[in-house]
């Protein structure tokens, strides 16, 4: 159940969002309010699924005409071909983000993930890239608002069980990527030089690869790079003191001397070792 204040806003905006679609559609509440992690800084994410939507300029005009309480309306991304686009604005003091997703593309993404196909697109609006399997996380968490053809209901049934092939692909790919750096010559050379820009990028990359492994190991869909510490805390299978260790890795004590960077590397190697051990112990066909 969504909070009463959010439910009221969603109900008011439904005619507007519904009007963005051409043909068959479905609407859902997503983001932090659907996941139960919302705070005072959280926006309201409304998802519209369709195979065709109105052009960006027309959507923006509709939003502006909808209410005098609308501020800062704008639409983004190309309309054709339509993979995904959006229209954002403020309404009654809340930021509203309308995500318009191509329904056929969502169907294709779910099918790919079930077969263990992992893709990542490097886009500006997410710090580590957008993984295709985040789509499955979104579908599982979202709260249907209007689903006249049962589109969202069908997708929820398809993603209810974490795909085994997806789990193995994520674990094997990301564990191998995480293992590339800790004993790499260039990393150790950078430590000796005190090259903190280079080494910090390496640490971030290894940590985020290990995070992907841990989500897959727990058969939990990765939901994106926001509020990751809170999400990691809820994973039942994780190395000891995971949150504390990640914080220490990402925020080592200044100054960034070679000795501090060596200690950071040893902590990184230790975390990698623990995650590898967890993977090796989980079942007989384990990780690379």
Fold of 4-159: Beta Polymerase; domain 2 (3.30.460)
Confidence of residue 81 (pLDDT cuts 50, 70, 90): low
Mean pLDDT of 245-273: 94
Answer yes or no: pTM beyond 0.85. yes
Would the pLDDT of 288 be above 70? no
**C-alpha 142: how far from chain center:** 13
Residues near 191 by beta carbon (within 8 Å), at least 6 away in sequence: 199, 258, 261, 262, 265
Count each helix (H run) and each strand (E run) in the chain, helices first: 12, 8
pLDDT grade for 283, boundaries at 50, 70 and 90: low
Per CATH, 4-159 and 164-282 having the same topology is answered no
| pLDDT at residue 267 is higher than 70 | yes
Taken in order 16, 20, 25, 28, is the CA torsion positive or negative?
negative
Residue 221 token pair = 């869909």
pLDDT tens for 127-155 read 899 999 999 999 999 999 999 999 999 99
CA distance 256 to 287: 34
Q: pLDDT digits over 157-178, tens only?
A: 999 999 999 999 999 999 999 9
**Top-level CATH class of 164-282?**
mainly alpha
User: Each residue of 221-254: pLDDT tens digit?
Assistant: 999 998 899 999 999 999 999 999 999 999 988 8
- Cα-Cα end-to-end distance for the chain: 42
pLDDT exceeds cutoff 90 at 37: no
pLDDT, average across residues 67-91: 87
DSSP state of 253: P
Counting residues of the chain whose pLDDT is more than 70, the rounded percentage is: 96
Q: Where are the domains of the chain?
A: 4-159, 164-282
The predicted structure's pLDDT at residue 76: 87
What tens digit of pLDDT does each residue of 101-133 get? Answer: 999 999 999 999 999 999 999 888 788 999 999
The whole-angstrom distance between residue 146's C-alpha and the CA centroid of its chain comes to 23
- Residue-level pLDDT at 2: 77
Span of 93-97, 224-228, 266-270 with lowest mean pLDDT: 224-228
């Amino acid at each position: 159940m969504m909070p009463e204040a959010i439910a009221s806003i969603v109900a008011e905006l439904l005619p507007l969002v519904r009007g963005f679609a051409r043909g068959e559609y479905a609407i859902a509440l997503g983001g932090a309010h659907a996941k139960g992690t919302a705070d005072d800084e959280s926006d309201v994410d409304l998802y519209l699924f369709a195979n065709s939507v109105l052009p960006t300029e027309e959507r923006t005009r509709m939003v502006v005409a909808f209410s005098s309480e609308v501020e800062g309306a704008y639409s983004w991304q190309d309309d054709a071909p339509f993979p995904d686009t959006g229209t954002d604005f403020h309404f009654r003091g809340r930021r509203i983000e309308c995500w318009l997703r191509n329904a056929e593309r969502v169907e294709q993404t779910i099918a790919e993930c079930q077969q263990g196909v992992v893709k990542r697109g490097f886009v500006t609006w997410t710090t580590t890239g957008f993984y295709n399997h985040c789509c499955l996380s979104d579908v599982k968490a979202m709260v249907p608002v209007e689903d006249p053809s049962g589109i969202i209901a069908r997708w929820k049934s398809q993603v209810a069980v974490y795909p085994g092939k997806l789990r193995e692909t994520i674990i094997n790919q990301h564990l191998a990527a995480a293992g590339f750096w800790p004993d790499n010559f260039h990393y150790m050379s950078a430590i000796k030089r005190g090259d903190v820009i280079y080494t910090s990028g390496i640490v971030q990359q290894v940590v985020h690869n290990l995070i992907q492994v841990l989500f897959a190991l727990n058969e939990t869909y990765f939901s994106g790079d926001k509020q990751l510490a809170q999400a990691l805390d809820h994973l039942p299978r994780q190395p000891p003191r995971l949150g504390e260790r990640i914080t220490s890795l990402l925020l080592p004590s200044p100054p960034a001397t070679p000795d501090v960077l060596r200690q950071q590397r040893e902590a990184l190697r230790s975390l990698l070792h623990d995650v590898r051990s967890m993977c090796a112990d989980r079942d007989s066909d384990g990780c690379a």
